[in-house]
A and B are shown apart, each in its own frame.
Chain A
Amino acid sequence: MSIQEFFAMGGYAFYVWTSYGLTLIVLLANIIIPIVQRKQFFRQNLKQRR
C-alpha cells in the first residue's frame, strides 16, 4: 500500500481524518486546559499576596 493510498482511505479520507483530527484536538484540550488553569491559579494568588 502506498502512502497516497493510505491517506485516501478508499475514498473516505474526509470522514476518517476529520474524525481522527477532531478527536486529537479535543483530547489535547483536556490536557492543556488544566495546565493553563494551574498556572493562572499561581499567578493570581501571587498577585494577591503582594
Chain B
Amino acid sequence: MPWLVVIFLLLTAAGLYGGLYLAPPDYQQGDSYRIIYIHVPSAWMSLFIYVVMAIAGAIGLIWRIKLAEIVAISSAPIGASFTFIALVTGSLWGKPMWGTWWVWDARLTSELILLFLYLGVIGLYGAIDDKRVASKAVAILALVGVVNIPIIHYSVEWWNTLHQGPTVTKMDKPSIHVSMLIPLLLMALSFNVYYLIALIQRARVELLERERTAQWVKNRVSERKQ
C-alpha cells in the first residue's frame, strides 16, 4: 500500500506539472482547456470501473466467489465519484467554452445515466440485508447497465452534440499535441493507481462487515482490545 501511494503521488505530480505548467495554452480555448487533465481521465475511469464492476459481478454471479462480489460493490462508490467528477468538471469547462453549464445531448445525458446506474447499484445493495443475495441483485443490475457503456463512448459520433469528438481513443493518430498528450496519459495512469488504492481501502471494510461473525474477525477485534 505505501508504495502504491508513492507511485500515485509521483504520477500525479508529474502529470499536473506537465499539464498545468509545461503544456502551452490551447490555441482556441486558452487555459480553460487545462480542465482536460482531470475531466478526461475521470470520464475514462467512470467507464473502466463500471466494466470492472460488471465483470466482477458476473464472476460472483457464476462462480459465487466472495472476493469478486466484494470487488464489485467496493468499486461502485469510486466509479460514482469519477462519474460525478467528469460531469461537474465538464460543466465547469462547458460554461466558459459553450456558454452553458449543461445541455441534454447524448454524451452528457448518457454519462448522467451512468451516475444513476452507480447510485442504483449502491442503493440496491444497501436495501438487501443478506449481502450474498444483495451481490446477486447488484450484479444483474450492473450487467444490464453495461449497454450504456458503448452508448457513452460512441455518443459523440452517433449523434450531433456540442461535445467534441475523441482526440485520443480513436484509430488514427491522436489529434492532440504530445506536450498535452503525455500529461493526460500520466493523469490517466495516476487515476488508475488511485482506483486500486481506494478499492483496497473499501474492500477491507466490506470484508470485515461481511465476515463479522467469522473467527478471524473476532480475533482481530480482540487484538484491538488489549
Contacts and interface: CB of A to CB of B under 8 A. Distances in A.
B205 A22 contact: no
Interface string A11-50: 1100110111011001101110011011001100110010
B31 A30 contact: no
A26 B201 CA distance: 15
B145 interface: no
Interface residues of A, number: 27
B89 A10 contact: no
A12 B96 contact: yes
B32 A22 contact: no
B42 to A, nearest CB: 7
Interface size class of B (residues with CB under 8 A): 35 or more
Contacts of B95: 15
Contact of B208 (A11, A27, A38): A38
A38 B53 CA distance: 22
A19 B19 CA distance: 14
A41 B209 contact: yes
Contact of B204 (A6, A9, A26, A34): A34
Nearest to A15: B92
Interface stretch (B78-86, B124-132, B148-156): B78-86
Nearest to B221: A45
Closest 7 CB pairs of A and B: A10-B31, A34-B201, A12-B32, A19-B89, A9-B31, A10-B30, A45-B221
Interface of A: 1, 6, 9-12, 15-16, 18-20, 22-23, 26-27, 29-31, 34-35, 37-38, 41-42, 45-46, 49
